[in-house]
Amino acid sequence: MPHVSERRRTFFLNLRCLFLFVLSLAFVACHPRIPPEALRLDSESLKQRQIQTRVFQTDDEAKVLTACAALLQDTGFNIDESETKLGVIVGSKDRSAVSAGQVVGSIFVTLLTGAPVPWDKNQKMRACVITRPIGEEKKSIAVRVTFQRIVWNTEGKVTKREGLTDPKIYQEFFEKLSKSLFLEAHEAL
Amino acid sequence: MKIPNALKNCFFIIFILFLMAGCATTQQQLLDSEQSQLRLRSIQTRAFDTTDKEKTLRTVITTLQDLGFVIDKADATLGMVTATKLDRYALRMTVTVRPRGETQLLIRANAQYETTPVDDPETYQHFFSALQKAMFLAAHEVD
């Protein structure tokens, strides 16, 4: 009998050893590989382009850019970067990312397990608006806007990094842009 | 207490792994000295038969947007664009445009994936093939 238990102990020790080995291999091989499709165009890219782009019938790119900047301000963004020559405006804002449902869930799990479960606390949202004269005679301006966000939890760890792809966001943005352009044109407040 | 053999082996393996892992100091990464400069340049650079820098930069921006990037910075005078793609991972890329001779522009892209430099030719090839479609021009390899 003692012989059998000795063998079992060695077996489990070996198993633990193997586990440690695999774990340390994972550390050594820490070079994360870039996903092969990261820079590849696909059908989704085209779909996103259509959702994120509108064309305005004007040849005044500066006016459209100004309207976009005003709209970013309207929606609470601060302008981080701009380059008029290339039709670029980049803005960002920091907001709360706390959602009641997640907090309740976290507290529930914490009560059950005793281990504190963090929830999402802050988020940084970024927007970039690009204008581009299109057509043979450059009589219209294409405006493309893209959004992304980073979310941090109560422990300060990043929990989400994503581009925002919900078509509704873009629809609302362009509705507001049309209004903003109208306001710009009439020099109203 | 006698240390079992299996445990001894285990410690030995971990020790070896530490040796393997410890061969690159973290400071060396400042200039990424282990990379061959020439090889990197050739996989990151293409030449295009155009001299319109502004239009090329605009096309670069369009292509980056198509690929899901959000622009961080752009400078027409220096001819550079920096952008970030967030898709569970973070991919940051800088693209520069500068004249090459009288008839061509050189476009160079360098990317960083999370905390590592991207140095595999295929990834850059994907970027340039997307770019040449948007440029309506062929991308030439440069030596």
To the nearest whole angstrom, how far is the Cα of B102 from the nearest Cα of chain A? 23
Is B40 buried (19+), middle (13-18) or exposed (0-12) by CB count in 10 A?
A: middle
The CATH number that domain A44-186 falls under is 3.30.310.80
Q: pTM (2 decimals)?
A: 0.81
d(CA B12, CA B26): 24
- With a pLDDT cut of 90, the percent of chain A lying above it is 65
Nearest to A165 by CA among A71, A44, A74, A42: A44
CB contact under 8 A, B10 and A21: yes
Where do the structural domains in chain A lie, given as residue ranges?
Answer: 1-32, 44-186
CB contact under 8 A, B71 and A132: no
d(CA B34, CA A172): 49
- At the topology level, CATH places domain B37-141 in Alpha-D-Glucose-1,6-Bisphosphate; Chain A, domain 4 (3.30.530)
Is B41 buried (19+), middle (13-18) or exposed (0-12) by CB count in 10 A?
A: middle
Q: What is the pLDDT of residue A33?
A: 83
User: A-B interface: how many C-beta pairs under 8 angstroms?
Assistant: 141
* pLDDT tens figures, A25-69: 665 555 678 898 899 998 899 999 999 999 999 989 999 999 999
CB contact under 8 A, B70 and A41: no
Residues of B in contact with A146 (CB under 8 A): 65, 68-70
Q: Whole-angstrom distance between the N-terminal and C-terminal Cα of chain B?
A: 65
Mean pLDDT, rounded, of chain A: 88
The residues, any chain, with a CB within 8 Å of residue B43's CB and separated by 6 or more, are: B119, B121, B124
**How far, rounded to the nearest angstrom, does the alpha carbon of residue B66 sit from its chain's CA centroid?**
18
Which amino acid, one-letter code, is at A92? Answer: S
Cβ-contact B133, A41 below 8 angstroms: yes
Label residue B7 by pLDDT band (50, 70, 90): confident
Residue range B69-88: mean pLDDT, rounded:
96
Residues of B in contact with A33 (CB under 8 A): 113
The bridge status of strand B45-48 relative to strand B104-113 is antiparallel
Residue range B109-135: mean pLDDT, rounded:
93
**Which has more pLDDT, A95 or A15?**
A95
d(CA A138, CA A88): 17
Where do the structural domains in chain B lie, given as residue ranges?
Answer: 37-141
Is the confidence metric ipTM above 0.85 for this complex?
no
Q: Is the pLDDT of residue B27 over 90?
A: no
CB contact under 8 A, A38 and B57: no
Residue range B114-127: mean pLDDT, rounded:
92
Q: What are the distances in angstroms from CA B89 to CA A118, A134, A147, A161, B115?
A: 21, 33, 16, 7, 10
The residues, any chain, with a CB within 8 Å of residue A27's CB and separated by 6 or more, are: B17, B21
d(CA B19, CA B51): 52
Cβ-contact B116, A32 below 8 angstroms: yes
